[in-house]
Chain A
């Protein structure tokens, strides 16, 4: 029987994936196979092209190959957790490439920095899913037939079954069989526990004529299994569709300002290949206020407790509404979710040049570098009055300043208790004029000179809110605004497949649960008149997979026959699952 796709007794409509060990589908317990039996390999070469292709397909959809592919998938997923991945940690990848030039290049070529979209990773899961479909579709068809079929015939011999029981009774064989059948059907006529066939058997050889019962329950187990596997396919398809249709934009918005839902208004924008810009609904949003809360007790000092962005959303229709965005609580606007991903300070900075003209004025986003909001920012001051150098300012905004002896400074609390701006000053060519795109958060100091004091130390300009301070070397003045506006980093994301992803995931969970915990059982009974005139009732059971309750089921079915007595000396097994006992009695 080993290595055959179809079971030897060829039960109508049974499909078994190549390589599955399942005596249930085979109809009755296998004839003592040893657990490490060598699978018989069909001979590929002799088969011709079509035969070879069919053979390959059989192999691909076999249990053994599914198992290999699953293991491969697990192994292939590992490097993505060890090496930095481009879509999560692009900076990490660059750093890695710099540290390991040779190995890095090879790894990069082989896709190790984009593992989950690499050719090899995709190949594994696509093969796995092909295998799954190839395996599950024929099974679904077979199951559909089984659902409409009748329980299998009563097997000729019961002695090989894992659960069985025998008794004698005064009732006639017909009465006994009817009682067993009734018990198996259960109390609810509209919801039978078992699908039951009551039959008669003519005498054959030494065996007398008998009344028979064949019954089967737990079709849901296979249904659950199929639902589970098909739901996985649905999950994969939905995720892939979402990838094609989604878009994601990031915007930094300061208090009192807003942004519009248009590709150009985002600082970064990322989209799937089927995305079309027309699909963006042109709403706009204003950040009215941002609130943050931090723990001030000693145990959890300065730990973040709550962030709230109060916003006003204006729909294209003109309707306006107020909303709150919190971490964990995105808002939904026209099908897109808006997340609060980050926050910080964007103080108002004004620079007057040596001629007294306003050279720069605006809010500067300072990006927090630690939990205390020691935040780094850059100001690029173009040459407004002719003949003057461009000025670059780079440094930190400290909500609660703590300046050390050596002049270094950091923040000691995330809220603006004692705010201070600490900037170094550079002059020269900022590279603003050649038109190449620039990172607004970085100052390229290659063509700049730092302002230094008499000892050659970098000069640091310190400013508190509302203060105006002199820049060194008569470059002009800098004013820090009285107010300290907050900014939030918002992420807007639209993925039309979300609902499908969720539904398929839940279907998979439900199918899995049903398939693992629904007992699938067959019970057969045969009642005949024994040599001494009394009626002998024999019951046997077979279950799919592991089933602790099988023997109990068989016993219950037998107990339904009134006046039964266990036949003395009959080969009645111990209950299927006795307490697993150790060496001796329990104390």
Chain B
């Protein structure tokens, strides 16, 4: 079989594995919802104490399961979820490598490939972080987004594997685009974390909508403070990478397009993304803006990241029209 076709099959394989992972993680969370409802109040009061200790660095609570006496639920499904997610990452990696061999170049030169590699990075960051601390509660969201991205890529962004035009033939393709993808993947996981932070925060503060039993699984994620600090750490890594992406892009544009910055739509939106995340970093340290207000910046920033990837490629007509569509 041709390598390019094999690559496509492997992507479908990865998408399937992620779909299974998504279901496993989701069922796992819903089981947690049912169990140990009484742990919630305990968790909540502990969290209050923690917040009192300092706005920004609310010390992370001990795991909530210490808080309630109820019997632990089996997390077998989360384990299955992790295994298939690892499998998905492996399949996707092979698919990407094969695609690169088939095209005879770095496998991230158009939207389709960007989506594959970005999804891979997000999944890899998730499984990577999970080896150091238990973040399986992120699984359903990362796997869910991953399936979405892969299916979109296959159905909407697919182009045949081939070489690239002269403007793209430069090592900067590897660096600039590669780093941009890694940053995007990390932003994705940070975004999921911040969304959980916002939900959890709303629930802990007695939101009527999120207070119901169905959202009980939120009590088993982590405290808003812990989620915020995880999201911050991911975002700061991604922000540095994004800064590099902008600088690298400018250096490349200086050679390829004859100017380092020209407010091309892609440049504009990369700049907007950068400014929004810079605002996020400032918000975190501004009195009255830290905590969940700052988390909204992550949501806004990630929306800009997604728009920069899809909207700018598909709607606007700029120099950056390398989507291949």
Contacts and interface: CB of A to CB of B under 8 A. Distances in A.
A30 B54 contact: yes
B78 to A, nearest CB: 7
B42 to A, nearest CB: 13
A38 B289 CA distance: 10
A7 to B, nearest CB: 13
B220 A583 contact: yes
B288 A39 contact: yes
Interface stretch (B89-97, B120-128, B222-230): B222-230
Contacts of A36: 288, 291, 293
A198 B212 CA distance: 55
Contacts, number: 238
A72 B268 CA distance: 14
B55 A33 contact: yes
A299 B316 CA distance: 26
Contact of A66 (B243, B256, B282): B282
Nearest to B79: A587
Given A19-B286, A299-B162, A583-B35, A574 B62 contact: yes
B75 A584 contact: yes
Contacts of B287: 2, 19-21, 33, 37, 39, 63-64
Nearest to A128: B275
B56 to A, nearest CB: 6
A498 B161 CA distance: 36
B45 to A, nearest CB: 15
B166 A307 contact: yes
A248 B262 CA distance: 14
Interface stretch (A185-193, A326-334, A392-400, A431-439): A326-334
Interface in A293-345: 295, 297, 299-300, 303-307, 326-330, 337, 339, 341
A22 interface: yes
Contact of A299 (B160, B286, B288): B160
A160 B288 CA distance: 21
Q: Which of B55, B78, B232 has the most CB of A within 10 A?
A: B55
A296 B50 CA distance: 66
A472 B237 CA distance: 70
Interface in A545-587: 545-548, 573-574, 576-587
A505 B272 CA distance: 17
Contacts of A546: 56-57, 229, 232-233
Contacts of A22: 56, 285
Interface residues of B, number: 87
B279 A67 contact: yes
Contact of A74 (B60, B170, B276): B276
Contacts of A445: none
Interface in B195-252: 220-222, 226, 229-230, 232-233, 236, 239-240, 243-244, 247, 250-251
A505 B247 contact: yes
Nearest to A242: B260
Contacts of B72: 583-585
Interface string B158-193: 001111011101100000000000000000000000
Contact of B272 (A38, A77, A88, A299): A77
A85 interface: yes
B240 A576 contact: no
Contacts of B256: 327-328
B263 A303 contact: no
B254 A303 contact: no
A63 B53 contact: no
Contact of B134 (A30, A87, A513, A581): A581
Interface in B21-79: 32, 35-36, 39, 51-57, 59-60, 62-65, 72-76, 78-79
A34 to B, nearest CB: 8
Contact of A81 (B166, B220, B244, B269): B269
A328 B166 contact: yes
A360 to B, nearest CB: 33
A498 B79 contact: no
A587 B243 contact: no
A70 interface: yes
B137 interface: yes
B244 A328 contact: no
Contacts of A513: 240
A578 B53 contact: no
Contacts of A67: 279, 282-283, 286, 289
Given A71-B279, A546-B232, A582-B63, A305 B163 contact: yes
A300 B109 CA distance: 14
Given A21-B290, A509-B244, 11 more contacts: A33-B55, A64-B289, A74-B279, A82-B316, A162-B57, A299-B161, A303-B165, A573-B59, A574-B62, A577-B226, A582-B222
8 contacts: A37-B288, A64-B289, A162-B53, A328-B166, A337-B258, A579-B132, A581-B63, A584-B65
